[in-house]
C-alpha cells in the first residue's frame, strides 16, 4: 500500500513537471547573429548609407503548425531589420567603410523572407527554414543587385525545441550576413 502511494506521488510529480514544461514556451526569439568574417579592407575614405527594410507580410519568424489547432507564431524580441542594420554597420565600419546617412553610395537590404515553419506531430517534428535577403548597392552611376538565400531543414523526436530553432536561425542569418560582407562584387562596387 505504501509503495502505491509513493508511485502515485512520483507519477503525479512527473506529469506536473511535463505539463509545466509544455506551458513555458518562450514568447520571443533573441536575434544575435555572430558574424565571423575574414573580409577584405575597404578604402577608409569610402562612405555609404545603409537602409534595411523588412518586406515580409507578417513579422513572426517561427510558425508552429499542429493538426486541428491554430498556428503558434513566435516573433523576434527586436525588429529583424534593426538587428541586420546594426550587425552590418558594425562589420563594415571595422572594414573601413563609413556609414553616413547622406553618402553618395547607398546600400539597401530588403528582407524578403525569414521564417521557420514547424510541422509538429505527436511524436516528432519537421522544421523548414528559409532566409532571403536582397542587396541593392547604388554608387550614383549604377546599381548592383544581389540576392542571398539560406535554406535548411531539421527534424527530431517529440516537441520542437524553440532554443534550438533560435540558435539555428541565428547561425543561418550570420552566415548570410557574412556572405554579404565578403562579397567581392559588393566590395568592388563600393570602392
Q: Which domain holds residue 43?
A: 28-190
Using CA atoms, how far apart are residues 2 and 133, in angstroms rounded to an integer?
A: 63
In a domain, 186, yes or no: yes
In a domain, 177, yes or no: yes
Strands 105-120 and 124-138, bridge-based pairing: antiparallel
Q: For residue 5, is it within any domain? A: no
4 lies in a domain?
no
Position 95 scores a pLDDT of 85
Task: Please report the pLDDT score of residue 96 as a whole number.
Answer: 85
The per-residue pLDDT for 10 is: 57
Buried b vs exposed e over 82-119: b needs ≥16 C-beta within 10 Å?
ebbbebbbebbeebebebeeebebbbbbbbbebbbebb
Task: Answer whether residue 106 is part of any domain.
Answer: yes
Mean pLDDT of the chain: 86
Please give the pLDDT value at position 28: 81
Average pLDDT over residues 36-60: 84
Q: How far apart are CA 55 and CA 35, in angstroms?
A: 23
The residue to which cell 506536473 is assigned: 16
In a domain, 154, yes or no: yes
- Per-residue pLDDT at 140: 84
* Residue 102 Ramachandran class (φ > 0 left, ψ -120 to 50 alpha, else beta): alpha
> CA 95 to CA 71: how far, in whole Å?
42
What pLDDT was estimated at residue 191?
67
| pLDDT band at residue 8 using 50, 70 and 90 as cut-offs | low
Is the pLDDT confidence value at 5 over 80? no
pLDDT tens figures, 144-156: 999 999 999 999 8
- On the question of pLDDT at 15 being above 80, the answer is no
Q: What is the pLDDT of residue 114?
A: 96
Over 80: is that where the pLDDT of 169 sits? yes
* CATH code for position 186: 3.40.50.10610
Euclidean distance between CA atoms 76 and 61, whole angstroms: 7
Distances (CA, A) of 55 to 16, 48, 144, 161: 42, 22, 19, 27
Q: Is the pLDDT of residue 166 over 60?
A: yes
Whether 9 is in a domain gets the answer: no
Quick check: is 167 in a domain?
Answer: yes
The predicted-structure confidence for 75-126, as pLDDT tens digits, reads as follows 999 999 999 999 999 999 888 888 998 898 999 999 999 999 999 999 999 9
For residues 34 and 91, what is the distance between their CA atoms, to the nearest angstrom? 11
pLDDT at 23 (0 to 100)? 46
Structural domains of the chain, count? 1
In the DSSP assignment, the letter for residue 67 is T
Amino acid at each position: 500500500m505504501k509503495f502505491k502511494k509513493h508511485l502515485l506521488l512520483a507519477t503525479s510529480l512527473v506529469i506536473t513537471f511535463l505539463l509545466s514544461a509544455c506551458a513555458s514556451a518562450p514568447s520571443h526569439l533573441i536575434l544575435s547573429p555572430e558574424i565571423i568574417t575574414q573580409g577584405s579592407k575597404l578604402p577608409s575614405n569610402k562612405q555609404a548609407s545603409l537602409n534595411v527594410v523588412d518586406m515580409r507580410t507578417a513579422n513572426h519568424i517561427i510558425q508552429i503548425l499542429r493538426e486541428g489547432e491554430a498556428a503558434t507564431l513566435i516573433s523576434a524580441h527586436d525588429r529583424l531589420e534593426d538587428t541586420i542594420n546594426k550587425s552590418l554597420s558594425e562589420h563594415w565600419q571595422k572594414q573601413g567603410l563609413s556609414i553616413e546617412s547622406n553618402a553618395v553610395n547607398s546600400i539597401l537590404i530588403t528582407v524578403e523572407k525569414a521564417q521557420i515553419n514547424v510541422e509538429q506531430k505527436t511524436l516528432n517534428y519537421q522544421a523548414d527554414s528559409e532566409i532571403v535577403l536582397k542587396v541593392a548597392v547604388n554608387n550614383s552611376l549604377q546599381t548592383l543587385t544581389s540576392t542571398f538565400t539560406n535554406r535548411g531543414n531539421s527534424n527530431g523526436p517529440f516537441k520542437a525545441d524553440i532554443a534550438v530553432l533560435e540558435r539555428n536561425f541565428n547561425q543561418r542569418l550570420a552566415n548570410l550576413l557574412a556572405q554579404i560582407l565578403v562579397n567581392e562584387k559588393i566590395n568592388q562596387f563600393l570602392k
